[in-house]
Amino acid sequence: MTGKPCGLDQLRFSNRFSRELPADPVPDNYCRQVSGALFSRVLPTPVKAPRLLALADEVATLLGLSTADCDPRRLASVFSGNEILPGMDPFASVYGGHQFGHWAGQLGDGRAINLGEVVGPDDKTWTLQLKGAGATPYSRQADGRAVLRSSVREFLCSEAMHHLGVPTTRALSLVLTGDTVVRDMFYDGHPKAEPGAIVCRVSPSFVRFGHFELLAARGDMALLESLLQFVVKTDRPDLAAQLTGSTEAGRSAIYLQWFAQVCQLTQDMIVHWMRVGFVHGVMNTDNMSVLGLTIDYGPYGWIDDYNPDWTPNTTDSEQRRYRFGQQAAIARWNLFRLANALYPVIKDADALQSIVDGLPASYESARYKMMAGKLGLADDVITQPQFKDLLDNLETLLCCQPIDMTIFFRCLIEFACQGKREDGTFVALADVVRPALYPLDGSGVSQIQDKNLPLFQQWEKLYRQFLAVSAFNHENRQKCMAAANPVFVLRNYLAQQAIDGLEQGDRTEFDALLRLLRQPYAPVSGPDQRFAERRPAWASNRAGCTMLSCSS
C-alpha cells in the first residue's frame, strides 16, 4: 500500500505485540512482579499543560502523519498521553537485564509507555513510545516522569544519530508538560524541581535482550519460545514462513539464523559508534535492541579529546565498564548473555558458542574497513600486514596529548588530498591537524609537544605509503573521507547550551542544533563555524558538558 499523509485520527494501528503476546491479567497500576506475561496495560498519567516544543517532520512522514493538517495543541495532547486515539492500546513491557555486569532481575518500562504500533504508508510498522509519561507497574517506586534536560538530549541525539548514518530509534516529538519534576542530578543530596517533558520515541520494535533474559531466568520456556517466534515473524519474515510445520531441529536452525543476524546488526551498530566517536554510557542488556538500534539515550557523549578510556557516565566513573574503547567487548558480553537466554529453546550450545566465538574476528574486519574509509583508503588495504601498524600507531598518536577526534579526521581529509607545493613538498601532518589540538596550558596556544613530534612524523611517513598505493584518486578519496568523517557531532556542551536556553524560554540554540544535526557532513561557515570547533575550556568541568548521571 502507498497511502497519502493523514491526520491523527486516520493513523492505522496494528498493535501486534499487545495483540499476539500474553498480557498481565491485573488491570491496576501498582509496582509488582509480573510473570507469565510480557506487558501490562497502563494509561499515561495526564499532565497539566502540554505544549509542543519540537516535531520531527521526517519521522511523522514515516507514520503517514501530515503535521500540516494537525493542530499543534492536539499533537501535544496526544504525544503527552493526555489523549488516547482510537486504535491505541497503551502498555508497559516487562523485561530484566544485567546492569553494570550484574543480574538485576525484573526491570521493565519504568517510565516508558507504548501507545501502539502504527502502520505507515509503505506498510512498515512503527511502535510509538512515550518516555516520561508516568508511573507503570515497573517504575520501582519512581514517578515515571522525565525532565526537560534529559528529554532534549534524547530528542536531539535520536535525530543526530540517524543523520550520521548510525542505526538508531527515532524521536517524533518533544512536549513540555507544564509540570515540575524533582530530581537529584548527581545523587549528591541536592534535589531540585525541574521542568517536565515527554519524548515520543519511534522504532520498528522495542524488544530488548532483557526480554529474553527474564523469561529464561524464570524458566518460562513456553513464553520464551513464543516471544522468539514473534520476533522472527515480525523482524525476519523471510525466516517466519519456514517456522510453519517445522520440526524442533528446524525451528532451532531458524532461531540460530535470527541470533546470528542480531549479532551482526549489533556489531555493525558498534562500528558506527566508533566511527563517529559516540559513547553510549549505559550498555546494560536491558538497553540493547534485538534490531541492532541505538536505544535509551541517557548519559551518552561524543569523544572530544580522544581517549579510549573515557565514559560520560558519572555512575561508571570508577569502573569505566562502558568506556569508549570497551564498547565492542561489552556488546559481545551482552550477546553472550542473550545466547545463554536462548539456549533452553535452541538447545544447541555448540552452535551458539560458534556464533559468539566468531564475533571478535568479524568485528575487527568491520572495524578495519571502517577505518580504511576514515583514512581515505580502499578496502583492499586491510589485508596488508602494515595496516594494523598504521591503526595502532594512529591510536598512540591520538592519545599522546589532547587531540579532538572529530576535527582531527576532518583535517586529515585536507592532508590526504593535498597536492605538492611549488617546491615539490607537502604540508606536514603536524601543521595540517593543528586546529584539532587542545591547548596544553592557559595560553590558548595549540601546538604539538616536542616529545610527540616524532610520533606525528613516523605516522605521516607510513600513512603516505598507503596513500601512494591506494586505488583512490584524490576526488574519490575526498568523497570517501567526507562521507565517513562528520563535521558536526552533538557534543555534550552544545546540548547543554540548548537546554540552558530552553529553560530560560530561548530556543535559539536548540533550533540551530536541529538544523545542523540534519546535515552533519556538510561544511560549516560563518556563525555556524562555532558548532564545529573544539570543546571550549569552560565546558571541561561543567555539569552536563562533559559527564552526566543517569538521573533524568
C-alpha torsion 127→496→48→69, nearest 10: -50
Please state, in angstroms and rounded to a whole number, the distance separating the CA atoms of residues 359 and 329: 10
Cα separations in angstroms, 283 against 95, 210, 345, 360: 15, 12, 25, 18
Q: How many helices (H) and strands (E) does the chain have?
A: 18, 12
Q: Residue 428's closest CA among 455, 468, 395, 396? A: 455
Q: Which 8-state DSSP code applies to residue 24?
A: P
Please state, in angstroms and rounded to a whole number, the distance separating the CA atoms of residues 121 and 3: 5
C-alpha cell at 139: 517504575
What stretch of H or E contains 248? helix 248-276
Please state, in angstroms and rounded to a whole number, the distance separating the CA atoms of residues 184 and 194: 10
Please state, in angstroms and rounded to a whole number, the distance separating the CA atoms of residues 261 and 274: 20
Please state, in angstroms and rounded to a whole number, the distance separating the CA atoms of residues 319 and 188: 19
Cell 555486569 identifies what position?
A: 101
What is the CB neighbour count within 10 angstroms for residue 449? 11
Please state, in angstroms and rounded to a whole number, the distance separating the CA atoms of residues 489 and 385: 33
Cα separations in angstroms, 356 against 346, 365, 380: 14, 15, 26
Q: Residue 63's closest CA among 7, 130, 114, 18? A: 7
423 catalytic residue (yes or no): no
Please state, in angstroms and rounded to a whole number, the distance separating the CA atoms of residues 398 and 452: 10
- Active-site residue, from 286, 305, 316, 404: 286
Terminal Cα distance for the chain, rounded = 40
**Encoded amino acid at 341, one letter:** A
Strands 91-93, 96-99: parallel, antiparallel or unpaired by DSSP? unpaired
Please state, in angstroms and rounded to a whole number, the distance separating the CA atoms of residues 106 and 81: 25
Q: Which 8-state DSSP code applies to residue 527?
A: G
Helix (H, G, I), strand (E, B) or coil at 284: coil
Please state, in angstroms and rounded to a whole number, the distance separating the CA atoms of residues 117 and 128: 6
Please state, in angstroms and rounded to a whole number, the distance separating the CA atoms of residues 526 and 517: 17
Catalytic residue set: 286
